[in-house]
Amino acid sequence: MESWRVSTALIMIVMFVMFVIEGLLFGYFLGMLSPAITPLNCAVVTSCIAALVVVYCHMMPVDPVLRHYNATEVTQDTSPRIYGIVEGLAHKAGAPMPKVYVCDVDFPNAFALGKTPDKALVAVTAPLMDMLDDDELEAVMGHELSHVIHRDTFVNGVARICARILTTSAIVMGITSYALTMVLGSGSSSKGGNGGGILFLLMAAIFIPIILLGLVLCLMLPAASAILKFGVSRNREYGADESSARMTGKPMALVSALLRMENGCSKRNRFKRSTDAHLWITNPLGRKKRKLIDSILSTHPTTESRVERLLKLEEEINGTDVSEYRRLLRQ
């Protein structure tokens, strides 16, 4: 669990460094147009933008998500089974009791929302409650409660919005670099004669390589930020799986639940809001063959890799011999 926290912190630090690098590049390119603009000034601005992203994520409302998935809050009286499971887990973890919602959608899944444990909620879909037994449902809710306790929804939100801003600003920087190339070229050629041509060659030798470097970085920053964003999401899923397994003492129940959910989501459903895919415990689009790039840019680890980690936890926590189970899964 400690390595989980450290790795996530490192990813967020890298995100911040990327903002600073982008600010320095912006300052360099824009400084060609005005001496008042410096790389340091722009780096300060982009650092402030990164801080504002954190503030925005802390204030972001959850109501639109709940409305989209037709979520209804339930209580002990209206849905004693799911409410009692969440209440028992919250008591066991020493965490505040989150609000509990049931979503009226056609696929089995669950998610958590909220910036802090005292303002959080967990949600399940109606098909999930019909599909899982109490132990499996407890394991799933343990996973979601772990997201709440460790503020994963907040961290994922910061990573997602940072990636979007880095991508957009990198595109703007690429356009700026191209425009500067055109300005330098037209400015030199307008002087005419051999002197103008020589001046253009000198300026090209100095500035063009630097501008090309900026263009390369413009291409690299969006790709790197996307990889980091998905890395944060996958990292938090592994951590929540482990936390749930240790909280409930039933890693095998989560294994069974994950496999059932993946099969259920692989059947035809109407899920189309890909921007929300990271919210759910398993990919709401279900199982599909993954190429290498799909694995890198996926919001979720593969179910196979999650199951393997959980099997190791079953051996560690309960001393169970899972070799036969592994053999059956490979078949």
CA dist 41 and 45 (Å) reads 6
Burial class (CB in 10 A: 0-12, 13-18, 19+), 255: buried
CA dist 5 and 138 (Å) reads 24
The DSSP annotation for 37-79 comes to: --HHHHHHHHHHHHHHHHHHHHH--SHHHHHHTTEEEE-TTT-
Q: Which of 144, 237, 242, 262 is catalytic?
A: 144
H-run or E-run covering 322: none
Residue closest to 328 by CA, chosen among 264, 252, 234: 252
Report the half-sphere exposure of 65 (CA within 13 A, side-chain side). Answer: 21
**Biggest CA pair distance of the chain:** 88
Is 144 catalytic? The answer is: yes
Query: What are the E-state strand segments in the chain?
Result: 71-74, 99-103, 110-113, 121-125
**Which residues are the active-site residues?**
144
